[in-house]
Structure 1
Amino acid sequence: MIQAYIPAAGWSVARKILFRLSFLFFTLYIFLNPNGFLPYSEDVHEIYIQPFHKLIPWIGAHILRLSYPITTFTNGSGDTTYDWVVLLLIVSLALVGCMVWSLIDRRRLHYNTLLYWLNVIARYYLALTLINYGMAKLDKSQFPFPSTYTLLESYGNSSPMRLAWTFLGYSKGYNYFMGFAELTAGMLLLFRRTIRVGAIVALVVTANVMAINYCFDVCVKQLSTILVIMSIFLLLQGWEHHLNFFFLNREVRPESLTRPTFRRRWINRALAVTKYVFIIGVIGYTIYGAVGSSNQYGDNAPKPLLYGVYNVQTFVRNEDTLPPLMTDARRWRRFIVTRYGRSGVQLMNDSEQFYINKPDTMNRRIGLSGILDTSLKADFAYTFYGKDQVLLAGRWMGDSVRMTLKGFDTDSLLLVQRGFHLINEQPFNR
């Protein structure tokens, strides 16, 4: 391989040190946090990350001396104690590695070729991550419409993250807007001619995501911050062009788009073909996965048995009919069945219980198992009668229970029926 472009002067000492630090930090972070940016990368990651599931808890216990053991690893949250200790390890290794690298390679004039490949790695990681998230917004699998439970939940009882998810999930149009913005940034970053504009769009998009994550306590703060840093890193490659064009009103000459090449042309052509096949394959795989996610998690996900909101009209416990007293913690007020095998019970005193559903359509029964309190158990036979009415009879918390339920139409709620109005004679801020 030969280098296509070598400047007359070498790099400054500061630039070489910053490059070494950036190279080590980004490569280590992507290795330890691939975030599914490549097909099957998470499956491979699960294999080689296992030693770190032992190392990181050891660091937490013996070096950081945390007051609690690290037992939870990366899950739906990317901000676990484990994740932050991993980040600390990455920063530490990058700093030590940078010092060692600077000592043994201090005579090198520049790292032009290695910088090119670091840019490729960073922009592909950033691009494919944005494309994945963009597709998740277009199919509304990331922000589905508020669930039946969320529609009846008071603002005060929701977490900041749930409030953000409700806001973002309500509007299909806003999901499309966010999704197209992320897809645009990702697609622009895949090609050298559009790296700069892609990095600008990516910085705007990722900075907005990072702000939401920090301000609404969304548990993806670390990843969104890294994506912002990567966007800034890509923009810094042409900082003089940006300074002259955007701020100093000076002439900007076209930037060199040369790249390392092989002497044999057929190798370069083969690499070019491989690049486009790779891009088409990854995007096709992402679209295929998005369709599956939409049918499993988005607005198109199937509705389970008894899906909806039910008001409890009568409640008989151990042959004793309980009146609907607002202070009663033994009587159900509402039974809410959502997607993903979950349901909730609102008691008369406004306390709540959350369950995993276990439907048995053959025997017309539904079992409930507590999520937060595993001692909560219920098993009911169900019978439909009349319009939107259900009879549940069985056992709950060791007692015999029989209740009649009447469905509540969530489409009658203002949030669902209001829709879009181009003309508003008065503010409608209720």
Structure 2
Amino acid sequence: MAIIQHLDGERKQEVRLSEKEYTWKYWEKVGFRFTFIFFILMIVPLDGGWYEKLVKPDSLYDFMANIAGGSRNGWIEIDTESGKWGFASYTSWWLNGLIAVLAASIWTILARNSRVKQYNALYYWLRVLVRYRIALGLIAFGFIKFFPMQMPFPSLANLNTDLGEYAPFKLYWQIVGVSYKYKIFLGFLEIAAGSLLFFRPTVVVGAIINAGVLFNIAHANIAYDGAVHVYSSYFVLLSLFLLVQYLPAIWKLFILREPVSTYYYVPKFLRNWNKPLYFGIKATIVILFIFVYGFYRYERFYDEGRLKEPVLPGLAKAAGHYEVSHFLLNGQEKPYSPADSLRWHEAFFERYSTLVYKVNKANNIDLGNGTPALNDVLKTYEFTGRAGGKNYLYYEIDSVEHSLYLIDKNQKFSKEQRRRLDEKLDVGLKALYGKALGDSLHILKWTYERPSTEQIKLKGLDSDGNNLEITLDRIKESYLTGKEWYMKNTLFTY
């Protein structure tokens, strides 16, 4: 049996000295000074941009997302493979540790004649800060899985990509993306475990769950070059710090199997006059970051379409894998050759407005995780972390003229272009075609015919001015991954 009690600093123990009277050993004081400085450096954002967003948020959601996300940028970012995926990305941790050693040494020298017997109150409030940092960050982390948008189901083009053409992290994400139920459960677990840290009696349970779940995420990202290893192991570190206080009791209860009755110090800060204020602030934080934040996340994903994958519907009933049966370049038929860099080898119409074609041509590999965006052109998850010569075209349909207006999604957009594009879901390509802004986006216009439900013919100019005439025949396929799932939203149906 285990009994955990949190006693304020004015109450006495009959069996032993109270925490208030207990004098810390010298090494305990020195260790705490280092720990206090180190975790303050780890938790308090050191990025000036974070504070700019905090004081000038675009909305309540942006304010809460900024608070919950904290600042992921460290002191130093090393531009190497290890700096992105390996252990060099923890450099800021080592720097924080070095600063903490120096600062704790100075603190110890200045406090050599101090009569302070312990740092119970300071230790308590440091634990509160750590608890809330984990809780808010992990709840936000969990919602992107609870509403399963972090790792979408593989697209048709990705299902037809050779295994060796995947970067390790994208292969891992695709595997997880096959099962949305697993992600929903994982997201629920993170939200629930984070919520437990709001309350002292459930801290130990929440910290144990968090340490286990986030360790699994951290080592998987290290193994697969996922680039989320630092952020996930950050929560493991904070959770282990919370568990240090409980380790003696845990050892005695679970290893020695002896009854445990523990007492932990809590400063006496509650009075009759401030209890309503205290419970009001706490209730506001819990409601805001669990229910209000969760509603905003739901709204952004399901109602606004701010996902990693596009949402605008493509050609009706055209989704599928296509064989390129005829390819005319400037009026001349080009036979298939696996080494050809101009003739399409295969093509894919996704359920949304993306047309993919493969040629024997190297593309720059996007090593990002595909940040959610509002505009479909800016959603890059389809082709991140993957080679294979596939080119991605976003298109908008003029069903009256049987025309497609297309943009190469692989191109690099300027900061100004990205800002203007991400103001709405679509681009309005027809209205921009032939204008200066449209020319800067390299908009193409092709006509399409559908002689049958299984065939599509495309005709138009490519980006180099070549005249293309392409006939696509659908390949009937089924996949062992099972029935496709996707983030069904209230904007469109497929």
State TM-score, norm by structure 2: 0.70
Letter in 2 for 1:174: Y
Following superposition, the deviation at residue 356 of structure 1 comes to: 5.3
Is 1:398–2:465 an aligned residue pair? yes
Distance in structure 1 (CA, Å) of the matches to 2:260 and 2:231: 34
Which has the larger share of helix? 1
Query: Is the 1:131–1:187 Cα contact (8 Å) retained in structure 2?
Result: yes
Is 1:167–2:180 an aligned residue pair? no
Structure 1, unaligned stretches of length 5 or more? 61-67, 71-76, 420-430
Is 1:359–2:392 an aligned residue pair? no
Distance in structure 1 (CA, Å) of the matches to 2:67 and 2:484: 47
Following superposition, the deviation at residue 158 of structure 1 comes to: 0.8
Match of 2:63 among 28, 40, 65: 40
Query: Is the 2:314–2:353 Cα contact (8 Å) retained in structure 1?
Result: no
Greater relative CO (CA pairs within 8 A, separation 6+): 2
Q: Where in structure 2 are the equivalents of 1:334-373 lying within 5 Å?
A: 334-336=346-348, 344-347=356-359, 351-355=388-392, 357=394, 359=396, 361=398, 364-369=403-408, 371=410
Following superposition, the deviation at residue 319 of structure 1 comes to: 0.4
Residues 82 and 254 from structure 1, CA distance in 2 versus in 1: closer, same or farther, beyond 3 angstroms?
closer
3-state SS, counterpart of residue 115 of structure 1: helix
Residues 8 and 341 from structure 1, CA distance in 2 versus in 1: closer, same or farther, beyond 3 angstroms?
farther
Match of 1:24 in 2: 37
Match of 2:279 in 1: 272
Distance in structure 2 (CA, Å) of the matches to 1:261 and 1:341: 61
Distance in structure 1 (CA, Å) of the matches to 2:111 and 2:354: 58
Match of 1:221 in 2: 229
Query: Is the 1:188–1:194 Cα contact (8 Å) retained in structure 2?
Result: yes
Query: Is the 1:378–1:395 Cα contact (8 Å) retained in structure 2?
Result: no
Match of 1:230 in 2: 238
Q: Where in structure 2 are the equivalents of 1:233-312 lying within 5 Å?
A: 233-256=241-264, 259-262=266-269, 264-295=271-302, 296=305, 302-306=311-315, 308-312=320-324
Following superposition, the deviation at residue 209 of structure 1 comes to: 0.8
- Between the two proteins, the alignment pairs up a number of residues equal to 397
3-state SS, counterpart of residue 327 of structure 1: coil
| RMSD between aligned residues | 3.9
Spell out, residue by residue over 1:223-269, the C-alpha distance to the aligned partner (whole angstroms, 9 max, x if none): 1221111111111011210110111111201444x532336312133
Structure 2, unaligned stretches of length 5 or more? 1-7, 12-18, 55-60, 362-386, 414-439, 486-494
Match of 1:383 in 2: 448
3-state SS, counterpart of residue 40 of structure 1: helix
Distance in structure 1 (CA, Å) of the matches to 2:350 and 2:31: 51
Q: Where in structure 2 are the equivalents of 1:122-201 lying within 5 Å?
A: 122-201=130-209
Is 1:317–2:329 an aligned residue pair? yes
Residues 280 and 239 from structure 1, CA distance in 2 versus in 1: closer, same or farther, beyond 3 angstroms?
same
Match of 1:416 among 453, 477, 482: 482
Q: Sequence identity, in percent?
A: 26
3-state SS, counterpart of residue 390 of structure 1: strand
Distance in structure 2 (CA, Å) of the matches to 1:80 and 1:32: 23
Query: Is the 2:10–2:20 Cα contact (8 Å) retained in structure 1?
Result: no
Letter in 2 for 1:157: E
Query: Is the 1:310–1:405 Cα contact (8 Å) retained in structure 2?
Result: yes
